[in-house]
Amino acid sequence: VAAGALALLLSVFLQWRALARDLRADMGTLVNLGEAIMRRENGATRQAHVASTRDAIALLGQYARESREMPATTAAPALRRAVPMAGLPESRTQGMEVEELDSDPAELLAARPRKPAKIDIPETLFRAYDVRGVVGQALTAPVAELLGQAVATLVQEQGGHRVAVARDARPSSPQLAEALVRGLNAGGCDVLDIGQAPTPLLYFAMHTQPVQAGIVVTGSHNPAEYNGFKIVIGDRVLDGDDLLALRRRMLEGAFSHGNGSVERVDLVAEYIEAVVREVQLARPLRVVVDAGNGVAGDLAVATLEALGCEVVPLFCEPDGSFPNHHPDPSQPDNLASLMLEVQAQDADIGIALDGDGDRLGVIDNTGANVWPDSVLMLLAADILGRHPGVDILYDVKSSRHLASFILGHGGRPIMW
């Protein structure tokens, strides 16, 4: 009993020591931000170690940024109004006139004055399932930054604080992604930047990384002059009314404020390993991959090769001008080159991908187009063979034959 009590006391003591260390670090950050406000500098914002100090650090970081544009006489009152100094050593606060907060920092963040947008945010940008428009006209970097701050606010309202970001290979994507990340950071969210990557890799990050939201900068299957954003928060892809609500928030300036961080990661190897663990081929295949010069070519080739396939790449070099054909495999005209290459290479199958890798076209070994319903039937049969009786989702564009096929194989078809 004595040994157990001693172990418990030791555990409590070690946890107390760790908490005290984290509190000291956060108090140091608060003091540094306070001094930055006094000097009218940006100040360095570090990630909060303790949840109860996060809002205060975010608030002071915002004041530090704003103090650079304030007259010198107004910066000190902002500090006196905002800095929570209780518990700091006297030597660290000497010469600083401060008062304790009368309200919670989160309330101060919510109560900050709104700044309505001064830029045009056309409603036509906000489509059924994404935000999309012509770059330089409806879609600009300032719009992307406001969108980032609006998403950051929504993510934090739902209890999150970390967002994964990817981008496709269009020439406009780096600039739009940079603006988006600025907005996410200004809204108080940390960003996991997975770089130039297809949409499936962004979804993979959502399932494997400690993030609560994901955004991919992509024009998808649209022409080169377009770009846009696909947004996921939690387990929901934002669509329709959700996207229009984001626009209203952008117009009103109803944002949270903070100083988020950026971490850059490469998830390609982890993604390929996950696929190889889940998929076993009955025999090696010769596969022609037509990526349409979209962003998914390199990853598709590497993944198929890791599965033991012999891969013939076709238009797999990322080029956002799409010099060979339009990156939409749902249109038969865009599959002509792939059909010919499958026949020329005596391949087992041809696979076509769109600009961000979330649309699929399939060509059989004779060079004929395999229509989407047939592809879904093959996928459903495979899933039901391994997981009998599960639900299979399909959308309204599928024919009635798909639902009958799923029922006939013991599954439950659900129109989504």
Instruction: Give the helix/strand (H/E) hosting 377.
Output: helix 372-386
Classified as helix, coil or strand, 191 is strand
CB contact at 8 A, 189 and 162: yes
Spell out the alpha helix ranges (H) of 40-125.
51-67, 72-82, 90-93, 105-111
- Decide if 220 is catalytic: yes
Dihedral of alpha carbons 78, 82, 83, 86, sign: positive
DSSP state string for 308-371 = T-EEEEES-S--TT-SSS-S-TTSGGGGHHHHHHHHHTT-SEEEEE-TTS--EEEE-TTS-EE-
CA end-to-end span of the chain: 59
Q: How far is CA 20 from the centre of its chain?
A: 34
Classified as helix, coil or strand, 401 is helix
CB atoms < 10 A from the CB of 31, how many? 18
Of the residues 220, 321, 398, 404, only one is catalytic, namely 220
Classified as helix, coil or strand, 413 is strand
CB contact at 8 A, 333 and 292: no
For 414, counting Cβ atoms within 10 Å of its Cβ (0-12 exposed, 13-18 middle, 19+ buried), the class is: exposed
Distance CA(46)–CA(228), nearest Å, equals 31
CB contact at 8 A, 130 and 113: no
For 336, counting Cβ atoms within 10 Å of its Cβ (0-12 exposed, 13-18 middle, 19+ buried), the class is: exposed
DSSP E strands, 87-176:
131-134, 162-167
CB contact at 8 A, 212 and 155: yes
Distance CA(360)–CA(337), nearest Å, equals 15
Paired strand residues for 305: none
**What is the residue type of 206?**
M
Q: Which positions are catalytic?
A: 220
